[in-house]
Amino acid sequence: MRIAGKLLGAGVSLGMIVVLGFLLFRVIPGDPVVSWARGRPVTPEMLASMRSSYGLDKPLFVQFLSYAGGLLHGDMGQSFSYNRPVLDVIGERVGPTLLLVGTSTVIAVILGLWLGIRSAWRRASTFDRVSTSVALALWSTPTFWLGMLLMIATGDLFPSRGMRDTDTAPDFVSQSLDVAHHLVLPSVTFVAVVYAQYQLVMRSSMLEEMHAPYLTTARAKGLRDDLVRRRHAVPNALLPAVTLVFLHLGLVVAGAITTETVFTWPGLGLLFYDALSGLDLPLLQGLLVVTAGAVVVMNLLADLLYGVLDPRVRAA
């Protein structure tokens, strides 16, 4: 019954995403056809023909029914800018985003949770004060500013544009090393801004568990301090961090718009920026459905995982 309720809630959320996403991008000022044709010699008749071919001359309700019907059949429409199916355009950008944001998220999770556990266990120590202050400072730093600062600081040591060089040898090793070289700056930027969330949430959860009676009992049984922390305190403090981890795993698909734009990384984040700049409505709608849908699915998985991590959730 609990699982059925969660599935129903996720379904309702996805439906609301489709409806709100459709309406949201139609209140953006500007004409998408005019924006797409900017700089090209087109006549008013040609603009009217393009509106008709994309269905933009139809009533809003008819446009939504056509869009929703296409989604049910796996059709997200035709991109204005690329003149190709939206699903194909998005599919080409998923790989670079998973590489950048996925790798960075794993590093940020490991680093943030480790620092959060250590900071809480050594509360008010120099390590706690320094690590928490650094985390807060980085978390408050604008991503684009930090990215540009890293580009200036490293000079020509790391590439700052794109995913690979065109003159790299075609063999697998050379291509992999080239991509890894390009990955350094955007990955460091993403990790530096994101890891603080995991650290602060984990630190707060650990502090709530520090004086719990079961920890006193564990110490009274003669367990070493590191075993008390690892076997008892950490598992019980993980639930809030699990929610945050799964939320960000959903956002892995969305990419990092600011980071990808600053470093011209060819992922979904940069695609979202380009689609918004060109008012490519079908592409914007498709990106919203894919990215928001991923967040909903990951939140659903987190809710289901609670029952595995905490027996109290199953009992409830």
Contacts with 138 (C-beta within 8 Å, 6 or more apart), sequence order: 146, 192, 193, 195, 196
pLDDT, one tens digit per residue, over 218-273 is 667 776 766 767 666 777 777 777 777 777 776 665 557 888 888 999 988 888 88
DSSP 8-state symbol, 109? H
Amino acid identity for residue 5 in this structure: G
Q: Is the pTM of this model over 0.75?
A: yes
Provide, rounded to the nearest whole percent, the portion of the chain with pLDDT above 70. 83
What confidence category does residue 107 fall into, taking pLDDT thresholds of 50, 70 and 90? Answer: very high
Superfamily of domain 93-315: MetI-like (1.10.3720.10)
Average pLDDT over residues 70-97: 85
> 11, 66, 49: which is closest to 285 by C-alpha?
66
Q: How far is CA 15 from CA 12, 60, 77, 151, 289, in A?
A: 5, 17, 18, 42, 10
pLDDT of residue 279: 77
Average pLDDT over residues 86-98: 89
Higher pLDDT, 141 or 48: 141
> 93, 73, 83: which is closest to 282 by C-alpha?
83
CA–CA–CA angle 206, 136, 134 (5° rounding): 95
> 202, 231, 203, 199: which is closest to 215 by C-alpha?
231
Token pair for 222: 């003669």
pLDDT, one tens digit per residue, over 29-48 is 666 676 666 666 777 777 77
Place of tokens 């795993």: 249
What are the sequence ranges of the domains in the chain?
A: 2-72, 93-315
Average pLDDT over residues 173-183: 90
Asked whether 285 and 239 are in contact (CB, 8 A), the reply is no
Mean pLDDT score across all residues of the chain: 80
**How far, in whole angstroms, is CA 119 from its chain's centroid?**
26
**Count of CB atoms within 10 A of residue 296's CB?**
18
For the chain, how are helix, strand and coil distributed in percent, rounded to 5?
75, 0, 25
Report d(CA 136, CA 50) in Å as an integer.
50
